[in-house]
A and B are shown apart, each in its own frame.
Chain A
Amino acid sequence: MATLTLDGIRLSVGGAPLIPHLDLAIAPGTVATVMGPSGSGKSSLLALVAGLLPTAFTAGGHVRLGPEELTPLPAHRRRLGLLYQDDLLFPHLSIADNLAFGLEPAIRGAARKRAVDEALIAAELEGLGGRDPATLSGGQRARAALFRTLLARPRALLLDEPFSRLDQDLRIRMRRLVFDQAAAHDLPVLLVSHDPADAEAAAGPVVDLQALR
């Protein structure tokens, strides 16, 4: 996998600067943490990298993956996996169909079903594929969301406070699972959080947006 590079990122909304200047290189398998209180532009930075920035924002700088320039690409062409604090499992689909939704279309037929089954096992959701997402526990839903993202074969992971809604015990386990999976897939990870414990566990570069201003 390739390094995710943020090069001279600037971000402002309505003329007011949020992020004056940010350079960050995230090597494959490492987790960079962006810290800051709410309103500091954490989530907007993630949206910028993902290609989902609302038009009210003005942005500058470059996002690259290895040598590839991502800036001009629309969100669905960037192949960056996003995880939010809510699992955002589609409520009208079963768990298995949510996972299949993430799986790339090149995998067909029996191989498709096998890939979904394997993901269910890896997510410790064996036998729950037919269930309505609403009937699962918070931890189960978080794992399903993670594996839906991984099945899409992302080239990097963008995490928007994905652990903040989980209770203490679950948060530690989920964090370890996500970081282990990212390392196993050799993915660069950009984590946005206001929890210092996240940055500590990530053990990678840390950016404090407040300090940048």
Chain B
Amino acid sequence: MTAALRLGAGLWLAALAAGLAGTLLPAFGYLPALGADGFGLAAWRQLLGWPGIGHSVAVSLTSGLIGTVGAFVAVTLFCAAMQGHRWFDRAAAGLGPLLGLPHAAFGLGFALLVGPSGWLVRLVSPWATGWTAPPDLALVGDGWGLTLAAALAIKEAPYLLLMVVAALPQIRGQEHLQAARSLGYQPVRGWFLVVLPQLYPLIRLPIYAALAFAVSTTDLAIILGPSQPAALSVVVLRLAFDHDATLLLPAAAGAGLQGLVALAAITLWRLGERAVARLGIVILRRGMRGTPAGEMAGRAAGALALLVVGGGSLATIGLLALWSIAGTWRFPDALPDALSTRPWREALPVLAAPLLTAAGIGLAAAMLALAAALAMLERPWRGSRALLYLPLLLPQVTVLFGLQVVLVRSGLDGHVGTVVAVHLLFVLPYVHLSLADAHARFDRRYLDVAAGLGLSPARAFWRIKLPMLARPIAAALAVGFAVSVAQYLPTLFAGAGRVATVTTEAVALSAGGERRLTAAYGFAQGALPALGFLLALLVPRLMSWRR
């Protein structure tokens, strides 16, 4: 197994290195396939001369930063206000499954919620607004990407909350909070002064990953972001798939620039961390206990955060479902006049194949990732985690553009197997992450007992450890499946645009404006991971009944 692990780690590193090299070499003028073999800055000059490129960078940076700050503030306020409350566990358990909702499906539903003819506008029209037709407002695709930022905040919040819930047992938050309260601190104030500073180092890396993702998101930016000029990742994608192959050089520079944007965002975040930490020290050195009014405000804000994140997510799913079975639904009615099976009758014949493709790729990627994650957890080595989580800290487009260049050169692009392999780069870290805790908690005395009963270590692994870990393994598979189904950019690049999944099709449809059909695609994309989580819940139970 050790040899296989070494080989796997080598391939992993090679893929990342090839991805970065395949981006950076063309960015500096070296792409022999195009006859470009001189190094220089021409590609960068061409990129920086591209119309609106400055605005594109600004949109990516601001929407990503505002979205991540929004998610972080919402999660911390919620935790500070609800910690120890029975609602905290309920919300944490409820928000978990929302993680499985793919970004594309979420974006499509969010557009149905906040767009000019979206549900929120309908709720207040015409009685409050006087609008009898959808207003001519850029509520989706606004020039500064604020809708995109709002969507990112709501979509990233459950992820951050899950990271917080996973980190909480590692610190003695409740006891320290009680100590702070007995010293006269209001609970919310105490949480921010005593618990958050201990919690933060444990969730710093996941936050950076969320930030790197947010400033470089592609599918959400296509669906909800501005179009002219678009977010940087979208510009890179357009250049990379342009008919004019010479645009590959500025596209490479753009993919490199996306890496710099992510670096800039993380640097800005770090500066923010320091400023907030300094403010916290000032407050606690002065012994400011907080006021009842501030406490009320904190609690209200925490409840509001839960309402916006939970309500926004649920409304998004509900609207996808409702639009996909809507007959006539006139503006400004809040509900359709009639229901119809037509959207699904139209969608299913064309949707079935890409849905099955996505499911097949997801299943293969999840199974492979599970095997790799188990192997790594059984034989951990120094630095394995850092290596594993590296793809989550790099913007996808920065690695994938270069990987595509290498894949095209070796003739591997456009195959389903290649798509599965590239998905692994993003699926494996999450499968590993979701399995690691349960694996570490496994009481190894069971294996000692098994050895005493004469089982070899290998047999004890298969017959004792794996069955005992059935639930977390099923959950990790569902997580891997959900992550794979959600992948847009990896599917597009590794599939060379020829492997169509429900995800690539749904994003492509989003520009069309055929709401019912788009909703059906979005709902189908969201239903796929939900089905996975449901199976993960049921199958281990059925297995234990049989015993």
Contacts and interface: CB of A to CB of B under 8 A. Distances in A.
Interface of A: 50, 52, 55, 74-82, 84, 86, 88, 90-93, 97, 100-105, 107-108, 112, 148-149, 152, 158
A100 B217 CA distance: 44
Interface stretch (B112-120, B184-192, B484-492): B184-192
B328 interface: no
Nearest to A88: B179
A3 B172 CA distance: 33
Interface residues of B, number: 26
Contacts of B194: 90
B439 interface: no
A92 B284 CA distance: 12
Nearest to B288: A105
A91 B179 CA distance: 13
24 contacts: A52-B178, A74-B181, A75-B178, A76-B181, A76-B187, A79-B184, A80-B182, A81-B182, A82-B178, A84-B179, A88-B175, A90-B176, A90-B179, A90-B197, A90-B198, A93-B284, A97-B281, A97-B284, A100-B284, A100-B287, A103-B287, A104-B287, A112-B285, A152-B183
A92 B172 CA distance: 12
Given A76-B187, A76-B190, A79-B184, A105 B178 contact: no
B441 interface: no
A155 to B, nearest CB: 11
Contacts of B285: 97, 100, 112
Contacts of B284: 93, 97, 100-101
B292 to A, nearest CB: 9
B193 interface: yes
Q: State the majority secondary structure of interface residues on A.
A: loop
A133 B15 CA distance: 44
B286 interface: yes
Closest 7 CB pairs of A and B: A82-B182, A105-B287, A75-B181, A92-B197, A76-B181, A152-B183, A88-B179
B344 to A, nearest CB: 47
Contact of A76 (B193, B198, B286, B289): B289
Contacts of B186: 76
Contacts of A52: 178, 181-182
Contacts of B176: 88, 90
Interface in B184-216: 184-187, 190, 193-194, 197-198
Given A74-B181, A97-B281, A101-B183, 4 more contacts: A75-B181, A76-B180, A90-B176, A107-B287
B201 to A, nearest CB: 9
Determine which residue in B183, B286, B288 has the highest number of CB atoms from chain A within 10 A of its CB, and name it.
Answer: B183
A42 to B, nearest CB: 16
A97 B183 CA distance: 14
B188 to A, nearest CB: 10
A79 B185 CA distance: 10
Interface string B273-304: 00000000100111111000000000000000
B198 A92 contact: yes
Contacts of B198: 90-92
B183 A102 contact: yes
A93 B181 CA distance: 17
